[in-house]
Amino acid sequence: MKKRKITFVFINVGRNKARWIKEIKCYIDKETIENEIIKEAKTVLMSQEVSVSEYENNKFKIFAGFHMVGSAEII
């Protein structure tokens, strides 16, 4: 499997409601994409318990513990 560039938009992440666009080169499978979103979201979050849940095709909710702290979308 070949790595591809995927562009993510992070929306209202963390207390400061950060918003940014990030291009990441990774494999295109659900687990890898979720791990990349978690890794990137942790750069602005204080929590170490960060998780991701896909709620729509290519749209993800970001959680810290049980609280939703933002979202990410593949564009």
Give the pLDDT band of residue 68 (cuts 50, 70, 90): very high
* Mean pLDDT score of the chain: 94
pLDDT band at residue 12 under the 50/70/90 scheme: very high
Task: Tell me the mean pLDDT in the region 11-33.
Answer: 93
Q: 8, 37 in Cβ contact below 8 A?
A: yes
Domain ranges of the chain: 4-74
pLDDT confidence of 26, banded at 50, 70, 90? confident
H or E element at residue 33: helix 30-41
Strands 18-26 and 4-13: antiparallel
In the chain, % helix, strand, coil (3-state, to 5) comes to 15, 55, 30
Q: Which residues contact 28 (CB under 8 A, 6 or more apart)?
A: 1, 4, 6
